[in-house]
Structure 1
Amino acid sequence: MARADISFQTADHVTLRGWFYRPVSASTALPCLVLCHGFSALKEMDLDKFAEYFTSKLPLNCLVYDNRGFGDSDTKEGQPRQEIIPAQQTSDLSDAITYAQSRSDVDADKIGIWGSSYSGGHVLWTGAVDRRVKAVLSQVPCVNGYDNFHRLVRADFVAGMNKAFQEDRLARAEGKPAAMVAVVDADPLKPSALPSPDSWAFFSDWEKKSNWKNSVTLKSIECLREYDASAHIHRISPTPLLMTVVENDVATPTDLALEAYSKAREPKRLQILPGGHFEAYSGPNFERNVSFQAQFLKDYLL
């Protein structure tokens, strides 16, 4: 397995950066899997493990990149970093597909997309509307931002958040900096985007050993609430879909993912793992998870 630093341009001329993985012995154009991460997460946060596994076990290239405004990727001039606009991220995913297709070492007719958590929703959307996609792997996905928002945010906090959204919009219209909020906090009663103990444990650990920053714009949370990633899930077919969920997901609730999966059409596969949201990335679940995904890729992309 060989890894190279890469960069590519989005449709609105923003430079995104990441890694391109290729089997060492490869001498011909191979299928390519494009991988992107979830809410505020960086490519270093376990995506390298998935890409390394796939390229070491399969005749497959992998393209991994940081979302705009995060990690090594740029943001558009005049826009704040650490801001998550779903429509921009799904558009950027299609631009990553275009970049992969432009490479001579990629089989342009065999592109798959892999997303986890927030981007697990993005690949559902993109897989339905971008017909270049030949396989969709959606891991612990955020399928409905409105429902997800109201699971994460206590009902008695919603009015205060609505007021904060309004104040932030007015301030930004006056040219003031975007309001920021923590992604996680040790105290789940304090304002944060992901107020759950397992989110705190996962992200605070990565904060110590990576360039991950514990902040997003307040607008990112407002945009989460308006995002319905599963709106087109029934239109992914006939592109094959694999959805991976965990039994006790608090960050992207299990029942919401299963409800969305029930609306998808064949061909589709469902993998259910024990544990919570972040246990899909590492630990005892990893080998079981990634080997199941590799078999799906063998069956539908290679």
Structure 2
Amino acid sequence: MSDAPPRSDVRFTSGADRCHAWLYLPTPTPAPDAGAPPVVVMAHGLGGVKALRLAAFAERFQAAGYACLVFDYRHFGDSEGQPRELLSIRRQREDWHAAVAFARSLPEVDGDRVVVWGTSFAGGHAITTAAEDADVVAAIAQCPFTDGFASARTISPLATVRVGFAAFADHLARLLRRPPVRVKVAGRPGEVALMNAPDALDGIHELLKASDLTEDEYPDEVPARVALEIPLHRPGRAASRVRCPILFSVCDGDTVAPPRATLRHAAKAPRGEVIRYPAGHFDIYTGEPFEAVVADQLRFLTTHVPPRTAP
């Protein structure tokens, strides 16, 4: 019998497909006169799925009195969508808005107190979602992807050219209605991959291990066409339009989402807060860095969106 806190499987519609999500409700259940809990909407980063360690964060928030809606994007994980593992920035942003709308509709939560939480590539989505939805009450962007040009510079020129050729080939395959041309999400330095920083592949492997997943259970390739979008994607620019409190959890040793760009964008958020960690991009999900970041995020949440308690 599992000792994991209870959660339920739910689905919501985004576009023509249904996204799968886990719904966590506070344990123990709040007293009837305490009011419904705030809800934290959560999703993963580049090519990531909710099974990659997001439960660890959701369970901590749940234990502190928050509901959590943790979802997979269309085309990924347990969600619908063809072709599989299609990484579309536009569709993922649509999924975020659909998830927030669904969270607001849930009778078990306080739909007026929705928080968005994103990590890595989804950290950028959390910033743009909060900027576009004035009713979001708080946001957390963890080791966030904020500047595609800065991230693209972490890949060697030769690898960039090879990824670009794969992207053009994938677009041609799409026009000819052929199967996608795929590229690895993470690889060794110099390999053709969307991320090939020295710690990228080992970081993914550690995430899999911490999530009790094998490499065979985690698709490590996506249609290459997204490689042409990423360098032009700069969600950090939306930080200046985020009116709610927003926490930027920044890793000083981040080799995937360079911290200098994130700090520059975070400084423009009217109610932004920045906490920095002596950690790499993938370190923050486990061990002492995880304990530090989740504690800081809970302090931020309880300050700005405290769970209601019975009078």
Q: What range is the shorter-chain TM-score in? A: over 0.9
After superposition, residues 171-250 of structure 1 pair within 5 angstroms as 171-185=173-187, 187-207=188-208, 209-210=212-213, 211-237=217-243, 239-250=244-255
How many Å separate the matches in 2 of 1:182 and 1:160?
12
Deviation of the 1:157 alpha carbon: 3.7
For residue 37 of structure 2, what is the amino acid of its counterpart?
L
Q: Is the 8 A contact 1:246 1:275 kept in 2?
A: yes
4+ runs deviating over 6 angstroms: none
Question: Alignment partner of 1:121: what SS?
Answer: helix
1:95 aligns with 2:101: no
- Deviations 1:68-98, CA, capped at 9 Å, x for gaps: 11111111xxx41111111211111111111
Q: Is the 8 A contact 2:53 2:207 kept in 1?
A: no
How many Å separate the matches in 2 of 1:115 and 1:232?
15
Deviation of the 1:184 alpha carbon: 1.9
Question: Alignment partner of 1:115: what SS?
Answer: strand
Q: Which residue of 2 aligns with 1:38?
A: 45
- Out of 296, 301, 305, the position equivalent to 1:301 is 305
How many Å separate the matches in 2 of 1:184 and 1:42?
14
How many Å separate the matches in 2 of 1:98 and 1:107?
12
Q: Which residue of 1 aligns with 2:121?
A: 118
For residue 132 of structure 1, what is the amino acid of its counterpart?
D
Deviation of the 1:207 alpha carbon: 5.0
Deviation of the 1:110 alpha carbon: 0.3
Question: Alignment partner of 1:277: what SS?
Answer: coil
Instruction: Provide the aligned C-alpha RMSD in A.
Output: 1.6
**CA 1:181 to 1:253, structure 2 compared with 1: closer, same or farther past 3 Å?**
same
Q: Which residue of 1 aligns with 2:309?
A: none
For residue 261 of structure 1, what is the amino acid of its counterpart?
A
Question: Alignment partner of 1:16: what SS?
Answer: strand
Deviation of the 1:261 alpha carbon: 0.9
Q: Which residue of 2 aligns with 1:148?
A: 151
**CA 1:143 to 1:127, structure 2 compared with 1: closer, same or farther past 3 Å?**
same
Q: Which residue of 2 aligns with 1:135?
A: 138
Q: Is the 8 A contact 1:2 1:23 kept in 2?
A: no
For residue 242 of structure 1, what is the amino acid of its counterpart?
L
How many residues are matched? 293
For structure 1, the 5+ residue unaligned runs are none
Q: Which residue of 2 aligns with 1:53?
A: 60
- Deviations 1:8-33, CA, capped at 9 Å, x for gaps: 111x1311112111113224421100
How many Å separate the matches in 1 of 2:208 and 2:273?
34
- Deviations 1:195-245, CA, capped at 9 Å, x for gaps: 0232111223455642321111101222212211112210002x1110000
Q: Is the 8 A contact 1:206 1:212 kept in 2?
A: no
Q: Which residue of 1 aligns with 2:74?
A: 68
Question: Alignment partner of 2:7: what SS?
Answer: strand
How many Å separate the matches in 1 of 2:160 and 2:25?
46
How many Å separate the matches in 1 of 2:126 and 2:150?
19
For residue 115 of structure 1, what is the amino acid of its counterpart?
G
For structure 2, the 5+ residue unaligned runs are 307-311
For residue 47 of structure 1, what is the amino acid of its counterpart?
L
Q: Is the 8 A contact 2:185 2:194 kept in 1?
A: yes
- Deviations 1:141-172, CA, capped at 9 Å, x for gaps: 00011221122x21244344433332322222
**CA 1:286 to 1:189, structure 2 compared with 1: closer, same or farther past 3 Å?**
same
